[in-house]
C-alpha cells in the first residue's frame, strides 16, 4: 500500500499504479514501395489506480471528478501534471464504511495562446473613406485605355 496525491488530496493506493504510454509513428510510402517514418508523437499518459477509501473520502474523490479540471497526480513512479479523471468505479469494500475505487486518469496537453501586436507600416496604402473623396452626383462613363 502507498499514498498518492490527486489534486493535493491524499488517498491510499492498494494496488500498483498502471501506467500506459504510447506513441504514434506516422509513416509514408516512398517510390520503391517501402514505408518509412522519421519521427514519433507521444500520446498523453494514462493511469489506472485502485484505491481503498473510507466513507469521508468518497465525496472528495467525486468532487475531483466533477470539477473537470486538470490536477497533479503524485505516486511512487513520479509526478504527473495536468491529469484529468476519466472514470471512477466505486464499490462497497470489506466493511461498512470502506469502499474500493478504481479510477482512470489521463494526462492532457495544455495549449497556451500568445498574442502578437504588429505595427502597421507608414507606407501602407489605405483606401480613403468614400465620404472624404471628392465627387459629384452625376454618373460618368468609365475611362477605358485603348
- State if pTM tops 0.75: no
Q: How confident is the model at residue 83 (pLDDT cuts 50, 70, 90)?
A: very high
Q: Does residue 5 sit in helix, strand or coil?
A: strand
The vertex-142 CA angle with 141 and 144, nearest 5°, equals 125
Q: Does residue 66 sit in helix, strand or coil?
A: helix
Within 13 Å of residue 53, how many CA atoms lie on the same side as its CB?
A: 22
> Which top CATH class is 2-110?
mainly beta
Region for residue 130 given its phi and psi (left: phi exceeds 0; alpha: psi -120 to 50; beta: otherwise): alpha
Predicted pLDDT of residue 66: 93
User: What pLDDT digit, counting tens, does each position of 114-129 carry?
Assistant: 888 877 666 666 666 6
Pick the residue with more confidence: 89 or 145?
Answer: 89
User: What pLDDT digit, counting tens, does each position of 39-69 carry?
Assistant: 788 888 888 988 888 888 899 999 999 999 9
Q: Are 53 and 11 in contact (CB under 8 A)?
A: yes
Amino acid at each position: 500500500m502507498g499514498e498518492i496525491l490527486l489534486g493535493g488530496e491524499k488517498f491510499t493506493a492498494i494496488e500498483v499504479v498502471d501506467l500506459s504510454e504510447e506513441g504514434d509513428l506516422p509513416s509514408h510510402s516512398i517510390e520503391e514501395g517501402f514505408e518509412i517514418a522519421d519521427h514519433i508523437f507521444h500520446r498523453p499518459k494514462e493511469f489506472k489506480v485502485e484505491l481503498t477509501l473510507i466513507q469521508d473520502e468518497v465525496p472528495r474523490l467525486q468532487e475531483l471528478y466533477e470539477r473537470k479540471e486538470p490536477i497533479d497526480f503524485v505516486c511512487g513512479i513520479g509526478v504527473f501534471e495536468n491529469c484529468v479523471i476519466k472514470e471512477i468505479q466505486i464499490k462497497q469494500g470489506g466493511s461498512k464504511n470502506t469502499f474500493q475505487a478504481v479510477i482512470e486518469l489521463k494526462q492532457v496537453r495544455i495549449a497556451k495562446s500568445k498574442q502578437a501586436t504588429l505595427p502597421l507600416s507608414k507606407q501602407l496604402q489605405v483606401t480613403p473613406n468614400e465620404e472624404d473623396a471628392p465627387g459629384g452626383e452625376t454618373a460618368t462613363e468609365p475611362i477605358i485605355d485603348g
